[in-house]
Amino acid sequence: MATPSRQKILLFLFAIAFLVTFIQVGLLSIAFYKLGLSPSAAYTLLLASLFGSVINLPLLRLQSLRPPDAPPPPPPIFPLLPVPHNSRYILVAVNTGGCLIPIAFSLYLLNQTPVTVLEAVQAISFVTLISYLFSRPIRGLGIGMPILVAPLSAALIAIGLNPEGSAPLAYIGGTMGVLIGADLLRLNDIRRMGPPVAAIGGAGTFDGIFITGIVAVLLT
């Protein structure tokens, strides 16, 4: 049984966790509302992104420039396919929640909102450049980048290009820019690190892409 002091500490921690969750849910609701989504559509997108973040689909193999330091663990690949444990190659996969769903949702926003293809290309190009310049390979973790750089850049360029459609444009530019600048353009860095499996939009990058899209929308 917990002592009174421990009960107070547990109650305090529970209150903090509840407050943080409430704020996060409120911010997500605001962001999805600005994107024109109904509550049911917003939660469907959120759940699809979260569950999709554990699904990696094999795409291709790249020759590794540096073999892994230890025998690679079984890769989290779905569908379950036999993956040869060959230290000379890196299996590149795409993460469903951090790559495929943001791409699909960006295409949806491009068709359903007052955002032109030219504006989307300009925003994506700008955030791609920023993401590439500020991202760095981190041995054992992947590609890292300061978390507010991409969403702030996406919001500013979206407001400048299309004030009325800044929210969807910020989401498109932010998510696609991070995917290209911090993932696709960093494949050579991944080859030099030599991991057995690299997921585009996966692991910590999923969090970065998801937060980039939400924060970019909130900043518009």
Phi, psi torsion values for 141, nearest 5 degrees: -120, -35
Distance CA 202, CA 56 (A): 8
- Per-residue pLDDT band for 25 (boundaries 50, 70, 90) equals low
- Per-residue pLDDT band for 5 (boundaries 50, 70, 90) equals very low
What is the structure's pLDDT at 125?
96
Counting other chains too, the contacts that 44-47 makes at CB distance below 8 Å and 24 or more residues apart are 45/101, 45/105
Distance CA 147, CA 158 (A): 18
pTM of this prediction?
0.79
Structure confidence by residue, pLDDT tens digits, 50-104: 788 888 888 888 777 765 555 555 544 444 444 545 567 778 888 888 899 999 9
Q: What percent of the chain has pLDDT over 70?
A: 74
Q: Is 26 exposed, middle or buried (0-12, 13-18, 19+ CB in 10 A)?
A: exposed
Counting other chains too, the contacts that 81-84 makes at CB distance below 8 Å and 24 or more residues apart are 83/58, 83/197
Query: Average of pLDDT values for 17-31?
Result: 62
Eight-class DSSP state of 79: S
Query: In the structure encoding, which two tokens stand for residue 192, read together?
Result: 């030099």
